[in-house]
Structure 1
Amino acid sequence: MTLSRTEDWTLQAKCRGMQDKLFPEGVDQKRARLVCMGCPVRSECLAEALDNRIEWGVWGGMTERERRQLLRQRTDIRSWQTVLCGPRKER
């Protein structure tokens, strides 16, 4: 069985196994973002949330409010994966 690209990066995430802690409300979101600092797959995580319009939680160091603002400001971007991580390489 082959892992998809999404599963590949999630296995390297610094937050692996901490899902509940990454979906806080209000002020606690800023604390949750600290987990993302220094994560080796932060860009992939953020691209996943932006490309799929994920509305909840902290992804790639950004809260849902920050991601919504970025999406409103950059309506010209069709693939955040390409912008943040470069083109996908075929295996």
Structure 2
Amino acid sequence: MTIRLYLVRHGETPMNAARQLQGITDAALTAKGRAAADRLGELLRPVPFAKVFTSDRGRTIETAHRIIAGHRPQPPLIQLSALREYYFGGLEGDSGNA
């Protein structure tokens, strides 16, 4: 049996667009991020997913929901805090220009 693993990063957030360091900060998707997730969903529609795993951050959940929106049957979406991005402490939001 062959198992295929698809790794996808969440769509763009305002912090990504501003080139700010973002780890655990839960920023929403931008319009560009939502559109990219929708487009990837169209491209991956023929792929039968057994399960979808995501962190518990809103941006990752929304990205995953948008990607699997057209899938029938809808695969279960499993949220795991262990998949969160790294916490950068006081560097969260830093643009590196200081």
TM over 0.5: no
Answer 1 or 2: which has greater strand percent: 2
**TM-score, length-normalised on structure 1?**
0.31
**TM-score, length-normalised on structure 2?**
0.30
Answer 1 or 2: which has greater helix percent: 1
